[in-house]
Structure 1
Amino acid sequence: MQLVFPEIDEAECLRTLQDIVRIKSYSQTQGEIDVTNHVAAVMKTMGIDGGVYPFDDGARQNAIGRWKGSGGGKTLLFNGHMDTNPVGEGWTVDPWGGIVKDDDCIYGIGVSNMKSGCAAYLCAVQTLLKAGWKLKGDVILTFVVGELQGGPGTVAAIEQGHCDADYFVNCEPSDVRAITMHAESEIFEIALTGVTRHMSKREEATDVILAASDLVPRLTKLTFPNAPSPVHASINRCHVGVIRAGLGKEMAEWRPPQSPIRRHQGAARIAPGQTGADVRTALTAASHGMPSFEVSRESRIVRSLNASYEAVRGVPQPTGAIKPICFYGSDAGHLYRKLGMEGIVCGPGGKFNTMPDERVELKDYYDCIRIFVRLIVDICGVGEVPDDQRRR
């Protein structure tokens, strides 16, 4: 017997995504509550068990639902964050308009990072439910917040017991490529202390700005020891993102010729098998960020996703530690590190991620839904299928 998968309703899937994009959900604002309440309400209308689950003393919340199967199948978890970065300069369209332009892209802040991925797995489940399919295994839908602060939403979902699955898909924007490894994020700070002299005697001073001018390029080229393989080493990266100098520990800026103290803040990227200790051997200070993630290309979840992609697009799916996505930090790291769960990172968007006029190609969004429909059926197993969707 061959299954005939239900067609997705593209117009309805677009409306679902537009409704989510039109909710202003800046990270750590009331918008997080609004968007998770909205998604929880949508799941309720679909008949999915779940709701909103507060954390951080009730200040924040996730929306989580479970489509329960009849038993005897594997459980598949989908994970994505609903909070967004603030809007920067350079936008030419309404960031919350959810408009579709002639280039067949949908525009909006957070549409790539990562509301389109969240909408894709919501619509995949909705497609199967409306077509009358029933599964053996469960599908868990997690719509979290806080990934932009290191993932407290997913950590809360894990600690609250909502992530009891066999496999996961984290839908960070990958241009629908299968990402089997990404880096860990380690945040560091380096403090330089110089020697202050009046500008007339600067030859006697130690100028931290000049010292930093030499240090920053070396940090940019830095890699870290103990990488288990060349692939792991390839996802090492270090970058300085904040530089400040001033007079005294208060870093007074009103006396610019004299800047004896300077701080650098940045992030490093390390591979599975490397640790924060390896970063600290090359940097003077570091603090823990988001965990790294990896999965074997032979894992069932990877092979199933690859097969689903090829069934939809007719070509093999790009798979591996693919740049630049391998430099991401994502909640996949928490699911991998805390639960030991096998999973994959794959979602629509990425090409126009986190930039003015952020957008996602609709073809990628729709194809991702079709891929997730097939992935769900393969991983969870079929319970009941309408007669008109069986081909003998």
Structure 2
Amino acid sequence: MIKASQLPTIDRQSCIDFLARMVQHKSYSETEEERILARYMNEQMSQQGLESQLQSVPGDRLNAIGVWKGTGGGSSLLFNGHLDTNPVTEGWTVDPWQGKVDEQFIYGIGVSNMKAGDAAYFCAVKTLMDAGFKLKGDVILTYVVGELQGGIGTIAAIEHGIKADYFINSEPTDLQALTMHAGSLMFTIELTGSTRHLSKREEAVDALAAAAELIPELNAMTFHGVKTAEHQKINRCHVGSLHSALGKQLDEWRPPQVADFARLKGSARFAPGQNVATVLEDIQARIDQLCARHPGLSGIVIDDSHDRPLMAPFEVDPDSKIVKAVNQAYQQVRGEEQPTGAITPPAFYGTDAAHFYQRLGMQGVVCGPGGKYNTMPDERVELNDFIDMIRIYMLAIIEICELA
């Protein structure tokens, strides 16, 4: 195995500048700027000498796919990351699209989720290629869109025939090796009671009060059918919105009346070995218990995930070759053992790793820079983490694909 000290020197400033240019693209989901960034990545890969192409995604969107062809005989390694970003929220103190850099951080919307990971694997390949390295196996760089819509870009890439022996998904894990993450389910709960004027509220069935009672129970839930205690660690349920008033139209102009209808929206996380049906069954059982305590109340849970692909759970054996390659690379670069497993909070995320695992049976690992300052005002990534990630990816590429 090649040592970190034997790697070619990384052009630190050039890599940071490349990431800054990615941040400067306002690549909100399903916008023209998202398409422009895909074209930019395609051009950069083509200029680097990769076999590069733009790939159509439903909704008039684009993936950018590049291949560094090997000489043959080695395993292939695929890197995966999305280009689309969350919107800017209130509370920012720096320009979200400037790509501002100081001594410690690079800032910008999407820099953690997940343009730092995207840039890191491009820079890893560029550094190796510029230094004259040749590999036996292919390295495939996938820059997809639509992860925020259930992974439609990665699904499109798979349907176009993109695959490899192993993969690394570069979602932000603070450089930890995530070997298991949850599946994601969106749901709506509807509770129906019976209204009365406040003067006779003792006769009512208060849907709002029942909803308030239900929320902490749901937020504390885990689900049946877990294989191990490690799997149960990534069970979680959370209600994010509650609207209650009169009737399903939720009229609010008559507040002296007791609310007879409540609509709650939330999300559940479940582990490999569990599924949507069993999660909904457990939630419905909790609703039924609530209704038993409130005679006259009825309630139902509805799966809201039907309009987008399911972000399924993912897992890989920690002894898999790809996990060990990343573990060894981390040890070489940082001189310590890499945290590995169902690490939270990243294990509660949904990632496109699930599609490679579920649809193709590929072994992979989720490991990328960023995470600590993810999805928050002044989103940022530590520069040293970004550069270390490039080194780790370089070592993993050499280990998996083998030097020619």
Per the alignment, do residues 2 and 334 of structure 1 end up closer, same or farther by CA in structure 2, a change over 3 Å counting? closer
Check conservation: 2:2, 2:395, Cα contact below 8 A: no
Match of 2:368 in 1: 347
Check conservation: 1:64, 1:142, Cα contact below 8 A: yes
Match of 1:203 in 2: 202
Match of 1:389 in 2: none
Q: Does 1:129 align with 2:129?
A: yes
> 2-side partners of 1:171 and 1:304: how far apart?
15
Which has the larger displacement, 192-201 or 120-129? Answer: 192-201
**Cα root mean square deviation, aligned:** 1.3
Check conservation: 1:279, 1:286, Cα contact below 8 A: no
Deviation at 1:202, TM superposition (A): 1.8
Match of 1:83 in 2: 84
Match of 2:223 in 1: 224
Residue 382 of structure 1 aligns to a residue in which SS?
Answer: coil
Check conservation: 1:170, 1:332, Cα contact below 8 A: yes
Residue 118 of structure 1 aligns to a residue in which SS?
Answer: helix
Task: Select 1:53's aligned residue among 52, 55, 59.
Answer: 55
> 1-side partners of 2:155 and 2:243: how far apart?
32
Q: Does 1:21 align with 2:23?
A: yes
The superposition leaves residues 15-64 of structure 1 with CA deviations (integer Å, 9 ceiling, x where unpaired) of: 1100000000111211210111111111111011122111215x111111
Deviation at 1:2, TM superposition (A): 5.7
Residue 242 of structure 1 aligns to a residue in which SS?
Answer: strand
> 2-side partners of 1:316 and 1:70: how far apart?
33
* Identity in percent: 55
1:326-337 matches, cutoff 5 A: 326-337=347-358
Check conservation: 1:69, 1:137, Cα contact below 8 A: yes
Deviation at 1:123, TM superposition (A): 0.4
Residue 360 of structure 1 aligns to a residue in which SS?
Answer: strand
Match of 2:98 in 1: 97
1:60-71 matches, cutoff 5 A: 60-71=61-72
Match of 1:264 in 2: 264
1:256-335 matches, cutoff 5 A: 256-258=255-257, 259-283=259-283, 284-288=301-305, 289-335=310-356
> 2-side partners of 1:363 and 1:185: how far apart?
32
Match of 1:360 in 2: 381
Match of 1:171 in 2: 170
The superposition leaves residues 346-384 of structure 1 with CA deviations (integer Å, 9 ceiling, x where unpaired) of: 00000100000000000000000011011101101111x
Match of 1:110 in 2: 110
Match of 2:296 in 1: none
> 2-side partners of 1:332 and 1:257: how far apart?
51
In structure 2, give the amino acid aligned to 1:233.
Q
The superposition leaves residues 115-165 of structure 1 with CA deviations (integer Å, 9 ceiling, x where unpaired) of: 000000010000011111111110110111111111111111111112x20
Which has the larger displacement, 246-255 or 359-368? Answer: 246-255
Deviation at 1:79, TM superposition (A): 0.4
> 1-side partners of 2:22 and 2:143: how far apart?
12
The superposition leaves residues 229-248 of structure 1 with CA deviations (integer Å, 9 ceiling, x where unpaired) of: 01001110000012112222
Q: Structure 2 unaligned runs (5+)?
A: 284-300
In structure 2, give the amino acid aligned to 1:377.
I
Which has the larger displacement, 22-31 or 177-186? Answer: 22-31
> 2-side partners of 1:89 and 1:26: how far apart?
16
The superposition leaves residues 57-94 of structure 1 with CA deviations (integer Å, 9 ceiling, x where unpaired) of: 5x111111111111111110000111001000100000
Task: Please identify runs of 4+ aligned residues in structure 1 that moved more than 3 A.
Answer: none
Match of 2:232 in 1: 233
Q: Does 1:150 align with 2:150?
A: yes
> 1-side partners of 2:355 and 2:57: how far apart?
16
Q: Structure 1 unaligned runs (5+)?
A: 384-392
Match of 1:388 in 2: none
> 2-side partners of 1:206 and 1:112: how far apart?
47
Deviation at 1:256, TM superposition (A): 3.2
> 2-side partners of 1:257 and 1:360: how far apart?
51
Residue 119 of structure 1 aligns to a residue in which SS?
Answer: helix
Check conservation: 2:54, 2:63, Cα contact below 8 A: yes
> 2-side partners of 1:26 and 1:261: how far apart?
35
Check conservation: 1:276, 1:287, Cα contact below 8 A: no
Deviation at 1:101, TM superposition (A): 2.2
> 2-side partners of 1:78 and 1:72: how far apart?
19
Check conservation: 2:111, 2:381, Cα contact below 8 A: yes
> 2-side partners of 1:56 and 1:327: how far apart?
27
> 2-side partners of 1:176 and 1:101: how far apart?
21
> 2-side partners of 1:243 and 1:63: how far apart?
40
Match of 2:9 in 1: 7
Match of 2:286 in 1: none
The superposition leaves residues 298-335 of structure 1 with CA deviations (integer Å, 9 ceiling, x where unpaired) of: 00000000001111111111111111111111101111
In structure 1, give the amino acid aligned to 2:67.
R
Residue 241 of structure 1 aligns to a residue in which SS?
Answer: strand
Deviation at 1:287, TM superposition (A): 4.7
Deviation at 1:199, TM superposition (A): 2.6
